[in-house]
Amino acid sequence: MFDHISIGVRDSDTSKRFYDAALKPLGYTCLSRSPGSLGYGKEAVRYWVNDAGQPVPADNDSGLHFCFAAPTRAGVDAFHAAALREGGKDNGPPGLRAAYGDNYYAAFVIDPDGYRLEAYCGEAD
């Protein structure tokens, strides 16, 4: 449905350290970089992180979050650990979420700008 998503951040250099670490275990890398703009994906950029004068304020009650596909449960675990090492906050440790499905394995973090992120693997290891 979406070709890409863009988010606004306070400091793309801080975001680069965070997203490089958090997305690497999922197989995503920074494919595009220019002053104030980062583009992440596998073959093509699908997630843009851009400096913004007025980033969207963090709001835990908004329901907004971004879920990244993980190739394995180990990738979900590594996403969570890397995100926390690079300044993210825990918003739900890696594990099965039976309420979402029998094999719904996910972890949740909050990035340095307050965006809620999830990594998800639907395959049993």
Mean of the pLDDT values across residues 13-22?
A: 97
Which domain CATH number covers 70?
Answer: 3.10.180.10
- Full domain range(s) for residue 68: 5-52+60-121
Tokens found for residue 27: 């197989």
List the end-to-end C-alpha distance of the chain, in Å, as a whole number.
28
Place of tokens 């639907």: 122
Percent of the chain whose predicted confidence (pLDDT) is above 70:
100
Q: What mean pLDDT value characterizes the chain?
A: 95
Domain count, the chain: 1
